[in-house]
């Protein structure tokens, strides 16, 4: 039993079987990568985990509780945070406000009507958010509008916002897509640091093999909606089935 258990999950869009019988178990405190060619169903699977999609069949258990039928914010409150392919942050707000929102969400839950209090007077929130900004190396950017930052900084902020909630499982959807090599390496270093310093499980969907082999302890290869193999990075590298899935039958 892992912290996340996916059993027999299937999802069909009209005539397309996007996922068929996916079984997957992510062990606690590990880094688990899910790779696969385009159209393999990686994003569909991820969307089934966070409540954006509801699978047609099967079950998804997080820490012994089913996540099916729950809305994204409820699943998040259970302890699953998601980082998006293109950074989803509050562009109109300052970096500091961006960081304060998840801290509020952690303390107050999905809704609380605190309409009269001054938000900067909430010392515990401000301190936690400030500490997180220091950890993320962006304390000097705290007054900037989040939308005006570089792609790499936005990604860093988004990861920081997810960590501020102290999630038990961090899901990353192609976190280095469209990034320059230097930014990619920075992100890898950041994720390594998070893995070393925190009590957290990371599941990562990625195209970039450099990222996958730098981070993952366990890899699942997905092709045409079903898991092909699940193994350690060393064994995956030379696996004939993986080569076949990526390069076609002729190879």
**Backbone φ and ψ of 168, nearest 5°:** -90, -25
CA atoms in the 13 A half-sphere facing the CB of 207: 14
Using CB under 8 A, count the residues that bind other proteins. Answer: 41
**Binding mask of the shown chain, residues 146 to 175, with x at each position contacting other proteins by CB under 8 A:** ---------------x---x----------
Q: Which of 72, 131, 226, 244 binds other proteins (CB under 8 A)?
A: 72
What minimum distance in Å lies between the beta carbon of 178 and other proteins?
A: 18
Q: Do 36 and 81 form a contact (C-beta atoms < 8 A)?
A: no
73 sits near other proteins (criterion: CB under 8 A): yes
Query: Cα 167–119–83 angle (5° rounding)?
Result: 30
What minimum distance in Å lies between the beta carbon of 46 and other proteins?
A: 12
Span 83-142, contacts to other proteins by CB under 8 A: 84, 88-94, 97, 100-102, 104-106, 109-120, 122, 125
Cα distances (angstroms) measured from residue 27 to each of 23, 66, 70, 157, 201: 13, 17, 22, 26, 8
What minimum distance in Å lies between the beta carbon of 185 and other proteins?
A: 26
What minimum distance in Å lies between the beta carbon of 77 and other proteins?
A: 4
Taking the least distance from each CB to other proteins, the nearer of 151 and 241 is 151
What minimum distance in Å lies between the beta carbon of 167 and other proteins?
A: 9
Residue among 229, 248, 193, 187 at smallest CA distance from 212: 187
What minimum distance in Å lies between the beta carbon of 201 and other proteins?
A: 17
Read off the DSSP letter of residue 78.
H
Select the span of 18-26, 30-38, 73-81, 229-237 touching other proteins (CB under 8 A).
Answer: 73-81
43 sits near other proteins (criterion: CB under 8 A): no
**Backbone φ and ψ of 158, nearest 5°:** -65, -45
Residue among 228, 152, 229, 223 at smallest CA distance from 185: 152
Q: Do 24 and 46 form a contact (C-beta atoms < 8 A)?
A: no
Interaction site with other proteins (CB under 8 A)? 50, 71-73, 76-77, 81-82, 84, 88-94, 97, 100-102, 104-106, 109-120, 122, 125, 143-144, 161, 165
């Amino acid at each position: 039993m892992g912290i996340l258990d996916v059993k027999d999950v299937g999802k069909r869009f009209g005539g397309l079987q996007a996922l068929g019988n996916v079984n997957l178990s992510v062990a606690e405190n590990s880094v688990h990568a899910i790779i696969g060619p385009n159209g393999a169903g990686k994003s569909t699977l991820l969307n089934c985990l966070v409540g954006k999609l509801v699978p047609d069949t099967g079950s998804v258990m997080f820490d012994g509780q089913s996540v099916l039928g729950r809305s994204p914010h409820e699943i998040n409150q259970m302890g699953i945070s998601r980082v998006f392919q293109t950074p989803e942050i509050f562009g109109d707000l300052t970096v500091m406000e961006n960081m304060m929102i998840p801290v509020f969400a952690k303390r107050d839950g999905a809704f609380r009507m605190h309409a009269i209090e001054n938000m900067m007077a909430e010392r515990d929130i401000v301190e936690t958010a400030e500490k997180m900004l220091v950890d993320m190396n962006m304390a000097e950017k705290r007054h900037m509008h989040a939308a005006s930052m570089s792609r790499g900084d936005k990604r860093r902020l988004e990861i920081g916002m997810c960590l501020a909630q102290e999630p038990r499982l961090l899901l990353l959807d192609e976190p280095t897509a469209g990034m320059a090599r230097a930014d990619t390496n920075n992100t890898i270093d950041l994720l390594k640091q998070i893995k070393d310093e925190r009590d957290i499980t990371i599941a990562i969907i990625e195209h970039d093999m450099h990222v996958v082999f730098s981070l993952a302890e366990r890899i699942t290869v997905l092709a045409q909606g079903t898991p092909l193999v699940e193994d350690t990075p060393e064994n995956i590298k030379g696996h004939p089935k993986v080569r076949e899935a990526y390069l076609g039958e002729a190879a």
